[in-house]
Amino acid sequence: MKYLIREKLMCLGDDFVIRDESGRVRYQVDGRAFTLLREKLSFQDASGNEVAFIREKLLALRKSYEIHRDGDRVALVKKDLFNLFRVGFTVDVPGPDDYEATGSILDHEYTFRRGGRKVAEVSKKWFTLRDTYAVEIEDGEDDVLILAAAVVIDQICHDRDGSDSED
């Protein structure tokens, strides 16, 4: 399935709308749920029902976010430590076969892999709008988890004022 993620401009917080390939709104991310201590995002279906919750993890050595579903943490997204050979993120899920996102992260041109197999691709190359990018997810994968991870990666790599962060 192919999705289009677009950051809503002129909103309080970091809000995103996610459409499917036919243009229908499938998900939205509401960034108004925040505290002074950490960032929180509500990942909702098209009707506004929360299907996942994204929360910045406190007291981490590097910026990281937890993805929760039905009250349980289902993933921890964190930027990899400095590596000369690649820039990427790990999406740590319970059990083996974590997701890895590598490529040109700041340019929204990267791939999610799990167990060495490509499971999703993120690309901005076809869009002229600044805060719009596509996520194509292989059948059988957890769309909500991968889309939430893509939003987290966007949060970590791009400051609120639109400038890039090497964090």
Fold of 2-157: Porin (2.40.160)
What pLDDT digit, counting tens, does each position of 107-127 carry?
Answer: 778 999 999 999 999 998 766
**Lookup: tokens for 148:** 């939430």
Domain ranges of the chain: 2-157
pTM across the whole model: 0.86
How confident is the model over 42-49, as a mean pLDDT? 95
Residue showing tokens 């964090």: 167
Report pLDDT digits (tens) over 58-71: 776 778 899 999 98
